[in-house]
Amino acid sequence: MKIYHKYTVMAALIAIFGACQKAELRKDTRFDKGLLNFFLAIPGQSTEYPAVAAGPYEDGDTIYVNVPTTEEEPVDVSKLRATASLEHNSRIEPALSGIMDFTNPLDIRVTDGDGNVKQLVIKAVPTLPRTTFKKLWFSTADQLGIVRTNISGMAVVKDRILVADFAGGTLGAEVGVRVYDANTKALIKTIPAPTTFCMQVVADDADHFVVNRYNIYGAGLMLYFYEDIDSAPQLILNYVAGAGVPAELGRKISVIGNLKTGKAYVYATAPAVDNQIYYWEFDNGVVRSTTPQVIRYAAATPWTFATVQRKSLDAESDHYLTYNNYDAADANRAKGSRFVQFTPTMDVFGMNTSNHYYKIFDFEVFTIDGNQFLAMLTQGFFAWDATHVKVYDITDPTKMTLVSDDVGYRDFMLFESDAYGGTNYNRYGDLDVNISGKTVTIYATMATNDKSTAGVMAYQMRYNR
């Protein structure tokens, strides 16, 4: 008990002496900043949006606060919750209370701790997100009149959608490339297939396009060039089977550049033969050599199918590659697709596999205002799993490693479309984009075994900066 009373007395003495001490501010301390920041919030939401530029502010400044909005649900600036961050002993007039009207700029008067007065203006600015997306349409093969619903290829040329409707070794007036108006989806014409066993239709950067025959049953790889939808085909590449063409080369092809004037490259892939990517260089529409140049991507597992895109026409260009090692017995889903960007010296930037589904059918990397975006067509493990279009910002390729819980993820992973159903045993799928200023239309195919689920979809992306 003696010990208890000793500590009780000591605590009391400490409390008494502590109460006698005064908290003093330094005599030279100034409180002339006043308003440090201004915040607006949408009623019912917890996020507060700060001013574009934080304080301190000068007398007469206009303070802008960006408030998110959308085209579908425009923000109501007449009903916003306002708060302010003020320096010690500062005050603001009129007082901020509850929901306020910012339809017109708000004039405020801020008196700082030293008694100085500043007249300031607060302006709420409805601001669209950096990118916005909306679905334009989905039309089935039945609606479009596509006969072979396992659509093997598609391209966009100006305001035309070109859809592959090939029939293996069969030719005929209704076997070929179906041309549709991209706006009305009306059928304009059918371009007859130039030969048998055609697979892809792909546009170059000048709105020409090519149709390829792929190497099946020893057919070899052939490439037919079309200047426009009304021109006759020109055979610009014939890589014959006897020259060592790997089986199914041309299952996927890609083109960069102008195949009529200047430089262009054509790439082709096949089920993995030592993980090789094949490409040809063209000058003014003429191939430099029928024998392809080869890139070996040694880091990959042997792939079932792959798609490649060259980043630029520069001699030392990076490449984008997606490859899929499909295994029907892959119980743990450890294989499947990978997406990478690699340099000529094989420095590799890989995407975390959680950002896409088991199969990546196709992709397109495109540029707006110097920013690199990736649109991807991806499906789950089973042939009947859902298929989606996804869009990412890969301007900084190191961000491809981000996962959903990481800071900055929403600036990387921008969009995921509706889920599309149907059975796709061939693992076909194509995607292409049409860019007009800061508006991008993304087209993608559903290649299924049924005319009610196969078809073409269109989504619009807008870049709002």
**Distance in angstroms (rounded) separating the CA atoms of residues 215 and 246:** 7
Torsion of CA 96, 98, 102, 108, to 10 degrees: -10
**Cβ–Cβ under 8 Å, residues 75 and 97:** no
Residue closest to 279 by CA, chosen among 271, 267, 291 = 267
Measured on CA atoms in the order 131, 462, 50, 52, is the torsion positive or negative? Answer: positive
Model pLDDT, residue 43: 94
Give residue 178's pLDDT: 98
Quote the pLDDT of residue 174: 93
- Is there a contact between 163 and 144 (Cβ–Cβ < 8 Å)? yes
Model pLDDT for residues 331-349, shown as the tens digit of each residue: 999 999 999 999 999 999 9
Give dist(CA 446, CA 141) in Å, integer.
9
The residue with tokens 């020893």 is 218
Quote the pTM value.
Answer: 0.85
Cβ 346 vs Cβ 299: under 8 Å? yes
Provide the pLDDT for residue 5.
38
Predicted local distance difference test score (pLDDT) of residue 28: 61
Predicted pLDDT of residue 293: 97
- Using DSSP's 3-state secondary structure scheme, residue 241 falls into helix
- Distance separating alpha carbons of residues 159 and 376, to the nearest angstrom: 21
pLDDT average per 10 residues of sequence, the chain (465 residues) = 36 40 56 92 91 94 95 92 93 92 96 93 95 96 97 97 96 96 97 97 98 94 97 97 90 97 97 91 97 94 95 97 95 96 96 98 97 98 97 97 94 96 97 97 98 98 93
Per-residue pLDDT, 27: 55
- The length of the chain is 465
Inter-residue contact 99 to 43 (CB < 8 Å) = yes
Amino acid 414 reads L
pLDDT of residue 3: 38
Nearest CA among 447, 450, 443, 451 for reference residue 202:
443
